[in-house]
Amino acid sequence: EIVLTQSPATLSLSPGERATLSCRASQNINTYLAWYQHKPGQAPRLIIYDASNRATGTPARFSGSGSGTDFTLTISSLKPEDFAVYYCQQRSNWPPITFGQGTRLEIK
């Protein structure tokens, strides 16, 4: 089973700042990684797939990078609606499909 480790667990930033979230895989997953945004009481939302492709409707301030075992989600200038929990997910070696434990992005 591929383990995804996200860091930091919590990130405290202000609107307008740049956010950098990390996801590390326990083995090579090429670029088979997605990022989701999840707000309380809402459905998770796919924002990045295959490491660097923005999903339909994802604003340009979101970008993804990485390959192999190290991946990054960057939000260039935070807006109030961006504060949420972010999960990475791999589809390289399954079953099982696995998720990271999440990074909580909170307002400072």
Partner 1 sequence: EVQLLESGGGLVQPGGSLRLSCAASGFTFNAYAMTWVRQAPGKGLEWVSGISGRGADTYYADSVKGRFTVSRDYGKKTLYLDMNNLRAEDTAVYYCAKAPHSGPGSYGDYWGQGILVTVSS
Query: Which residues form the interface with partner 1 (CB under 8 A)?
Result: 34, 36, 38, 42-46, 49, 55-56, 87, 89, 91, 94-102
- The count of C-alpha atoms lying within 13 angstroms of the C-alpha of 88, restricted to the half-sphere facing its C-beta, is 33
Nearer to partner 1, 89 or 105 (CB): 89
The Cα-based distances of 27 to 38, 43, 90, 91, 92 in angstroms read 25, 29, 11, 12, 10
At closest approach, how far in Å is the CB of 13 from partner 1? 21
| DSSP tag of 86 | E
CB of 20: closest distance to partner 1 in angstroms? Answer: 20
Beta carbon nearer to partner 1, 65 or 77: 65
